[in-house]
Chain A
Amino acid sequence: AQTVTQSQPEMSVQEAETVTLSCTYDTSESDYYLFWYKQPPSRQMILVIRQEAYKQQNATENRFSVNFQKAAKSFSLKISDSQLGDAAMYFCAYRSGRGGGADGLTFGKGTHLIIQP
């Protein structure tokens, strides 16, 4: 079974600064997808960024980028120019590439990101 580990229960960053959230995963598969989701106090899970394991290029979405290290099974999220609206729980998630999504997403425990004004 796959596991996802987020070792930082809570992180704090000053507004406009850069912060990196860590995520490691364990899998024996070669075909998989990785995601970062954001869950603000409203509880709605919002997709932040997605990475296909077969792509060597790191995904970016505006101020959000990932550092995907396949050999190390690491998938960290970098948030540049942090804004107050970035405050939320951030979840790293894994999905197997086989079976068309049969196993759903496997989530880490989450990192609570605090933005200091």
Chain B
Amino acid sequence: EAGVTQSPTHLIKTRGQQATLRCSPISGHTSVYWYQQALGLGLQFLLWYDEGEERNRGNFPPRFSGRQFPNYSSELNVNALELEDSALYLCASSTLGTGGQETQYFGPGTRLLVL
């Protein structure tokens, strides 16, 4: 069974540009989570999509946005890039079991560098 996939592996942008990151969940998983892993800040929850809807977001500004497609794949968009957006962006997928017994499985990440 294929795991979570992310593209691109690396992305280099300049300040003020927009970045688009993509994630394909494990087959059968309907939930997609996005996390940011920045140096010195650790792993932080960004966004949660389930069944095509944004369900929750972490403490990030609105220029971080995204969507989930009918096939449950997801896109993360970061507008007006700032230098501090440089980080590894991890996507995870899960399927919500009964009683919330879900486990998140991660993709390999997209490393975004903002110059």
Chain A positions within 8 Å of B, measured between CB atoms, are 31, 33, 35, 37, 42-47, 50, 52, 91, 95, 97-110
Contact = CB atoms under 8 A, between A and B. Distances in A.
A105 to B, nearest CB: 6
Given A106-B45, A107-B42, A100 B88 contact: no
Contacts of A99: 56, 100
Contacts of A108: 42
Contacts of A110: 42
Contacts of B107: 44
A45 B106 contact: yes
A44 B108 CA distance: 4
A50 to B, nearest CB: 6
A73 B37 CA distance: 25
Nearest to A42: B108
B104 interface: yes
Contacts of B88: 43
Contacts of B109: 43-44
B64 interface: no
Of the candidates A43, A97, A110, the one having the most CB atoms from chain B within 10 angstroms of its own CB is A43
A103 B42 contact: no
Given A45-B92, A104-B35, A110-B42, 4 more contacts: A43-B88, A43-B111, A44-B107, A107-B42
Contacts of B108: 42-44
A44 B96 CA distance: 22
B109 to A, nearest CB: 5
